[in-house]
Structure 1
Amino acid sequence: MPKTAIVPPGTGKPLAPYVPGILADGILYVSGTLPLDAEAQVVHHGDAAAQTRHVLETIKGVVETAGGTLDDITFNHIFLKDWADYAAINGVYAEYFPGEKPARYCIQCGLVKPEALVEIASVAHLGTATGA
């Protein structure tokens, strides 16, 4: 099965051996996305809402590079460091998915960067989009 790596312009070096997204048969798999800058440093320390916004903007960039929109996202995997941030994360999440919501799950866990409060991975169905 042919697959295409999706790497938006300006993407920093990943923390591990992965790419931001893979497009295969019209389905885009977006890697777990942390609130990182181009130098792989966590941004917006202590602010779960700002970190969530950063993560969703990064995911939006991957989806748009592949030829889609956030409306194409069908499933999100949400990982949060502390349940105390759940409301803040959901507040921002609702801004990015105002209409019909994707399916999702949310779990509390440790994240690869201790300063990160949220990580999100997504699946989008783009149909015949081919990516950039």
Structure 2
Amino acid sequence: MNARLMVLPLLVVGACSRATPTPAPAPSPASVTENGVTWHLPYGKPTRPFSPAVQVGNLLFLAGQIGTSASAQGGVVPGGIQAETRQTMENIKDVLEKSGSSLDRVVKCTVFMADMREWDAMNEVYTTFFPRNKPARSALGANGLALGARVEIECIAAVP
């Protein structure tokens, strides 16, 4: 008799949980894979002639990022090299996380600067995003960065 009393509540709970099925998630255009290459599309189909992140094996290659934000209405954030570097690194962090990686898995960065005299000011902000292990890095001066940016940074990261 006790066994029957214990089984009845389990049957009732099981029947109730099956009565409200969880809907399947909607398909996401977050990535496209062909021939072993994955194009991560964290913001939907690209509106520019490049992808934000492309993965081959366990390596993720990020397109160069500049300090744009929605609050700057798609333009570069005001405030000079440090504000731009901070926003650039936040943009990199966002693309990395939406593509399955993170800042602590970045292995290489290339920094393009409109004015190399701003090197120290850029580094003050850049280094705060890599408090422990610093990725390998190259840096060079460049004329004519997109949207008049002071800095552009591209990265390569490992994907778990």
TM-score (normalizing by structure 2) = 0.70
Counterparts of 1:91 and 1:10 in 2: how far apart (Å)? 33
User: RMSD between aligned alpha carbons?
Assistant: 2.1
Counterparts of 1:11 and 1:90 in 2: how far apart (Å)? 33
Q: 1:1-132, aligned counterparts within 5 Å?
A: 1-9=35-43, 13-14=47-48, 17-38=49-70, 40-44=74-78, 47-113=80-146, 115-127=148-160
Larger Rg, first or second structure (1 or 2): 2
Q: Which moved more, 1:55-64 or 1:31-40?
A: 31-40
Counterparts of 2:123 and 2:117 in 1: how far apart (Å)? 11
Q: Greater RCO between the two (CA within 8 Å, min separation 6)? A: 1
Task: From the two aligned structures, give the one with the greater helix fraction.
Answer: 2
Which structure 1 residue ranges, 5 or more long, are not aligned? 128-132
Q: Could you say what secondary structure the match of 1:33 adopts?
A: coil
What is the count of residue pairs matched by the alignment? 124
Which amino acid in structure 2 is aligned with residue 74 of structure 1? V
Counterparts of 1:4 and 1:67 in 2: how far apart (Å)? 12
Tell me what 1:130 maps to: none
Q: Could you say what secondary structure the match of 1:36 adopts?
A: coil
Task: From the two aligned structures, give the one with the greater strand fraction.
Answer: 1
Counterparts of 1:83 and 1:104 in 2: how far apart (Å)? 15
Counterparts of 1:113 and 1:66 in 2: how far apart (Å)? 23
Cα pair 2:106 2:158 within 8 Å, conserved: yes
Which structure 2 residue ranges, 5 or more long, are not aligned? 1-34
Share of identical aligned residues, percent? 31
The runs of at least 4 aligned residues of structure 1 exceeding 6 Å deviation read: none
TM-score (normalizing by structure 1) = 0.84
